[in-house]
Amino acid sequence: MLNIAAKTALVAGSLSMFPIASAQAPSTDLTTQVAAISPKLDATYLQLHQAPELSRQEVRTSAFIAAELRKLGYQVTDHIGVYEDGSKALGVVGLLKNGTGPTVLIRTDMDALPVTEATGLPYASKVHAKNAQDQDVGVMHACGHDIHMTVFLGVAQELVENKRKWHGTVLLVGQPAEETIDGARAMMADGMYTRFPRPDYILDEHDNNSFPTGSIATASGPLLAASTSVYVTFHGVGSHGSRPETSKDPIVMGAEFVMMAQTIVSRQNAPQSPAVLTVGTFHAGTKNNIIPDDATLGLTLRSYDSNVMKNMIAAVRRTADSVATAYAVAPDHMPTITIPEHTGPTINDSALTARMTNAATAALGRNRVLHADPVMGSEDVNYFTDSGKIPLTAFWLGVADPAKLAESLKTGKPLPNIHSALFAPVYEPAIQIGVVAMTSMALSLLQ
Ligand SMILES: [Zn+2]
Ligand SMILES: [Zn+2]
């Protein structure tokens, strides 16, 4: 779901100082151990990259994750989750109990996107599948969830190998359908915390092309925004294009709505609480000389604050109704508003994030742990926090080629970001760095 252009804390000048490709992380037991399993992790990544599956279709991927966790000795439950339409989801939970101590949930997402890969890489995906509308689409791990799964399996292995160093319970969660932001909700709706121990902490990571491979970036407080998809349908009265006086033109109403809606953020929202309203689709009509009956607009709303989101939704409704009223639409023909997708903001708990940043810094060295600013992309990992009651920290895993990133910062021309057919993460040392970072974070919580 993420649609980010994360503002990197780096500047072009400091990048050349960044010793990513050449220098090793501080030589600890953990880095050595992770380096030893790196060939296996890379093979896993390449295998997952070439076998992407769309949201809600993660049959082989979830079976693979479940099998790998079982091999490592985790107590595995699969086919977890119920979507709102009642269909079953493909969530996986691997449980490892190791004495008395806190419970830590580590999450990966598993789904890919309807994107035809155009990177030209020798291991590029050639997979096609049917989407929910039964159309044939190319499928690609264009959001890098293959990297997340690989890191997750590396962490799973390291936690087993370092069992004598920790006490408590780990809950490894493979989540389906992140791109449609309904997989985490489906797993929670299937009794996650009654069937499995309720976590004390949640850890998550996402790859990010605004940070160089070999680094991670942490942020305290808001990391990602709440996101609400809204459809607004104006119901007019269709007519011949030459006789507008006999119509109530839904295209004109829609156009007016698009302009009026721009003032919702600029005039009705406090600038201290950032928000975005974008009209991304506008569908109406079939022919130049026909005024259609209906026009449907697709909006995305973003904010870090649930109240701001509520106010924006109310304002969208009010604005649509007022436009229809101005065009004398009958009261029983007022615009229809539907909300097919919603997810809350991803807020990093500040105390947990400070602890986790320290743990990662101790394991990776200071120059590999960067600072991130919040972005207006969104994620559904927040569903696992039980409305913010369980502290979460999610961090960025850098996957950009350092030289290309430096060049892009110099020229202002962005690198192909996630969701792009050209997204080509530099998976090493990203995967090793991700495993070391996440494992050291988990170990520091499980003392
Ligand atoms: Zn995504
Ligand atoms: Zn993603």
Q: For 42-50, what is the mean pLDDT?
A: 98
Asked whether residue 354 falls in the same domain as residue 322, the answer is no
pLDDT in tens, 260-292: 999 999 999 999 999 999 999 999 999 999 999
Asked whether residue 333 falls in the same domain as residue 389, the answer is no
- pLDDT band at residue 365 using 50, 70 and 90 as cut-offs: very high
What's the mean pLDDT when you consider all of the chain?
A: 94
For the cut 70, the answer to whether the pLDDT of residue 78 exceeds it is: yes
pTM attached to this predicted model: 0.90
Could you tell me the distance, in angstroms and rounded to a whole number, from the CA of residue 341 to the centre of ligand 2?
Answer: 16
pLDDT in tens, 310-339: 999 999 999 999 999 999 999 999 999 999
Asked whether residue 140 falls in the same domain as residue 220, the answer is yes
Asked whether residue 53 falls in the same domain as residue 182, the answer is yes
Asked whether residue 178 falls in the same domain as residue 307, the answer is no
Please give the share of the chain, as a percent, with pLDDT higher than 70. Answer: 94
Q: How many domains does the chain have?
A: 2
Could you tell me the distance, in angstroms and rounded to a whole number, from the CA of residue 94 to the centre of ligand 1?
Answer: 23
Asked whether residue 396 falls in the same domain as residue 438, the answer is yes
Asked whether residue 174 falls in the same domain as residue 37, the answer is yes
> Is 190 tagged catalytic?
no
Could you tell me the distance, in angstroms and rounded to a whole number, from the CA of residue 73 to the centre of ligand 1?
Answer: 30
Which of 342, 358, 376 is a domain's end point? 342
Q: Which of 53, 68, 109, 379 is catalytic?
A: 109
* Interatomic CA distance for residues 408 and 406, integer angstroms: 5
Instruction: Classify each residue of 292-325 as buried b or exposed e, where b means 16 or more C-beta atoms within 10 Å of its C-beta.
Output: bbbbbbebbbbbbbeebbebbbebbeebbeebbe
> Is 178 tagged catalytic?
no
**What is residue 262's predicted lDDT score, i.e. its pLDDT?**
97
CATH number at residue 213: 3.40.630.10
Structure letter (DSSP) for residue 294: E
- Tokens 């691997």 belong to residue: 94
* Interatomic CA distance for residues 211 and 401, integer angstroms: 9
Could you tell me the distance, in angstroms and rounded to a whole number, from the CA of residue 327 to the centre of ligand 2?
Answer: 42
Give the max Cα distance, the chain. 81
**What is residue 28's predicted lDDT score, i.e. its pLDDT?**
77
Which of 307, 342, 377 is a domain's end point? 342
Which of 287, 322, 342 is a domain's end point? 342
* Interatomic CA distance for residues 65 and 79, integer angstroms: 12
**What is residue 16's predicted lDDT score, i.e. its pLDDT?**
40
pLDDT in tens, 206-234: 999 999 999 999 999 999 999 999 999 99
Asked whether residue 321 falls in the same domain as residue 267, the answer is yes
Instruction: Give the ligand with the smallest distance to the CA of 108.
Output: 2
Q: Which of 53, 58, 179, 249 is catalytic?
A: 179
End-to-end CA distance of the chain: 34
Asked whether residue 440 falls in the same domain as residue 326, the answer is no
Asked whether residue 358 falls in the same domain as residue 243, the answer is no
- Tokens 């997810």 belong to residue: 343
Residue 284 sits in which domain range?
A: 226-342
Could you tell me the distance, in angstroms and rounded to a whole number, from the CA of residue 206 to the centre of ligand 2?
Answer: 6
Instruction: Give the ligand with the smallest distance to the CA of 145.
Output: 2
Cβ atoms of 380 and 246 closer than 8 Å: no
Which residues have their alpha-adjacent CB atom under 5 A from ion ligand 2? Answer: 2, 143
Q: Tokens at residue 248, please?
A: 């109530």
pLDDT in tens, 422-434: 999 999 999 999 9
Could you tell me the distance, in angstroms and rounded to a whole number, from the CA of residue 252 to the centre of ligand 2?
Answer: 37
Asked whether residue 364 falls in the same domain as residue 217, the answer is yes
Asked whether residue 216 falls in the same domain as residue 230, the answer is no
- pLDDT band at residue 27 using 50, 70 and 90 as cut-offs: low
Cβ atoms of 225 and 381 closer than 8 Å: no
- Tokens 């595995």 belong to residue: 76
For the cut 60, the answer to whether the pLDDT of residue 420 exceeds it is: yes
CATH number at residue 302: 3.30.70.360
Could you tell me the distance, in angstroms and rounded to a whole number, from the CA of residue 274 to the centre of ligand 2?
Answer: 22
**What is residue 15's predicted lDDT score, i.e. its pLDDT?**
43
Instruction: Classify each residue of 386-401 as buried b or exposed e, where b means 16 or more C-beta atoms within 10 Å of its C-beta.
Output: eeeebbbbbbbbbbbb
Cβ atoms of 351 and 200 closer than 8 Å: no
Q: For 358-366, what is the mean pLDDT?
A: 97
pLDDT in tens, 371-403: 999 999 999 999 999 999 999 999 999 999 999
